[in-house]
Amino acid sequence: MQCGADGTTVAPMNAPLPTAAPSPQERAARQDQVVQALLQVLPAQALLWHTEDTTPYECDGLTAYRQRPLAVCLPETEAQVQAVLRTCHRLGVPVVARGTGTGLSGGAMPHAMGVILSLARFNRILAIDPASRTARVQCGVRNLAISEAAAPYGLYYAPDPSSQIACTIGGNIAENSGGVHCLKYGLTVHNVMRVRGFTAEGEEVTFGSEALDAPGYDLLAAVIGSEGMLAVAIEVTVKLVPKPQLARCIMASFDSVRKAGDAVAAVIAAGIIPAGLEMMDKPMTAAVEDYVHAGYDLTAEAILLCESDGTPEEVEEEIGRMSAVLQSAGATALAVSQSEAERMRFWSGRKNAFPASGRISPDYMCMDSTIPRKRLADILLAIQDMEKKYGLRCCNVFHAGDGNLHPLILFDANDADQLHRAEQFGADIMKTSVAFGGAITGEHGVGVEKLASMREQFTDAELQQMEGLKRAFDPQGLLNPGKVIPTPNRCGDMGMMKAVQGALSRA
Ligand SMILES: Cc1cc2nc3c(=O)[nH]c(=O)nc-3n(C[C@H](O)[C@H](O)[C@H](O)COP(=O)(O)OP(=O)(O)OC[C@H]3O[C@@H](n4cnc5c(N)ncnc54)[C@H](O)[C@@H]3O)c2cc1C
């Protein structure tokens, strides 16, 4: 593998195998060996290896990067998961766990010489306990299915990624996923009590407990957000919260992104923690309005959606305070939802922002970074300058209250130059986020997408410490190798991934 101007040949530090592209003959021989071994521990219908069967698994939501695995395992029992892991460990085969593949950073992208371990069949809700307000579920259960199962008890699972209809709790744990309600109710890491799973060697492990705390180091927090590199989650206990009696939403228009960004900081500074505080800029508003007709103000440079939930009295008081803060911050128009149907209409645009972007561009790259709230306006203006610099359009929709940006860079993946400019644009956003005191990911993870940006954030020594943690769990580096931790002092960027991991395909 070659990368960078100096043509240095390197292997990702956490990759167990030489990553130089194998010859077709080498790959076929290895595939045959791995398939024969896996057929000893899995029924034939639980193993896919023909090209037409493995193609759907070649990427996640970061569709510009694709790689077919040697095989896809679809176990149904824990004993089968354990046997797959033990077999792969014995043969030194990389294993990439997969939920439903909605990840946006290439976290579930296969390894060229590895297998995909699909947990899609682990989709049972094991217990809902209204007394302790917890749910025990298998890792392949969809995020929304937990809330649906808890609804009869007046409870729900708070972290709500926009992809919640499809994404799994296992994927949420691996990415420490967030959503609109996480400003008030916390991210995945704040809402998961216990994870049981297996190490790369197939050893059963449990992190956390169903009690308030667990003895020893807080390895639960280390595993949540570890992108499937430390262990495979199988069973999860999550917290449930009572459904609020009422929720209402304010839609506020602003004639400049600076005023809208400053208004976000002003709401929090006033001591209000809204149930959701989201922002959309003018290009995004136009795209979603055209798609879902939510009634958004098309003259506004930016709009904010600010939600309040609780008892009717709490909501009335908070809506009043938020309205006052937004007005003094320069809102040009305010609308407060008067019914549940109207509240859902306000949110319909925000929730459909990604598909709406797909209607105005052949491809888009959804970036994910965080910055201190007070720098929101600064970064949005910097992104406007970058649009000119890279000659590409960008729409912004994001969790403003958390300072979690989601710039959607629009491009055409059929045009290699546009893809290259989109990558540079994305890297620039990451660099600027770090320079503004932020982080290169808020909720989508690093995957392969942000390998290079890890060096903007961390020193080589810090990266080596991360590698040390990985090795403590997975000495052979078999779980999701080549993700998250770049090789110190070498390239390890998306360009490298392209060269190594596979052909670029149209999204
Ligand atoms: C339209 C759209 C909207 C989105 N909105 C949001 C949002 O609002 N907030 C947000 O945070 N994300 C969002 N996402 C990103 C994505 O949905 C989340 O990252 C989600 O948690 C991924 O879940 P998944 O089951 O699809 O995981 P996958 O994509 O299959 O895998 C993601 C990572 O988790 C690992 N993994 C999966 N299952 C396990 C397991 N059982 N054990 C160990 N590792 C595992 C994989 O190896 C990979 O590294 C969005 C994506 C899309 C397409």
How many angstroms does the Cα of residue 175 sit away from the middle of ligand 1? 6
Residue 405 has phi, psi (to 5 degrees) of -80, 150
- The protein residue whose alpha carbon is closest to atom 16 in ligand 1 is 103
172 lines ligand 1 (CB under 6 A): yes
- Report the b/e string of 35-48 with b at 16+ CB within 10 A: bebbeebbeeebbb
Tokens representing 469 are: 């943690």
Of 163, 194, 235, 354, the one to substitute when testing ligand 1's pocket (max ligand atoms within 8 A of C-beta) is: 163
How many angstroms does the Cα of residue 168 sit away from the middle of ligand 1? 7
Q: Residues 46-80: pLDDT tens digits?
A: 999 999 999 999 999 998 889 999 999 999 999 99
Q: Is the pLDDT of residue 126 over 70?
A: yes
- The protein residue whose alpha carbon is closest to atom 2 in ligand 1 is 163
How many angstroms does the Cα of residue 79 sit away from the middle of ligand 1? 24
How many angstroms does the Cα of residue 177 sit away from the middle of ligand 1? 7
How many angstroms does the Cα of residue 466 sit away from the middle of ligand 1? 21
How many angstroms does the Cα of residue 204 sit away from the middle of ligand 1? 23
Strands 241-242 and 134-138: unpaired
176 lines ligand 1 (CB under 6 A): no
Q: Residues 451-481: pLDDT tens digits?
A: 999 999 999 999 999 999 999 999 999 999 9
CA-to-CA distance for 369 and 434, rounded, in angstroms? Answer: 9
Tokens representing 505 are: 């395909």
CA-to-CA distance for 48 and 198, rounded, in angstroms? Answer: 22
What is 359-409 written as a DSSP string?
HHSSEEEE--EE--GGGHHHHHHHHHHHHHHHT--EEEEEBGGGTEE-EEE
Mean pLDDT, to the nearest integer, of 144-151? Answer: 98
Residue 119 Cα: closest atom of ligand 1: 41
114 lines ligand 1 (CB under 6 A): no
What contacts 269, CB < 8 A, 6 or more positions away? none
Q: Residues 393-443: pLDDT tens digits?
A: 999 999 999 999 999 999 998 999 999 999 999 999 999 999 999 999 889
The mean pLDDT value of the chain amounts to: 91
Contact 444, 422 (CB under 8 A): no
How many angstroms does the Cα of residue 99 sit away from the middle of ligand 1? 7
228 lines ligand 1 (CB under 6 A): yes
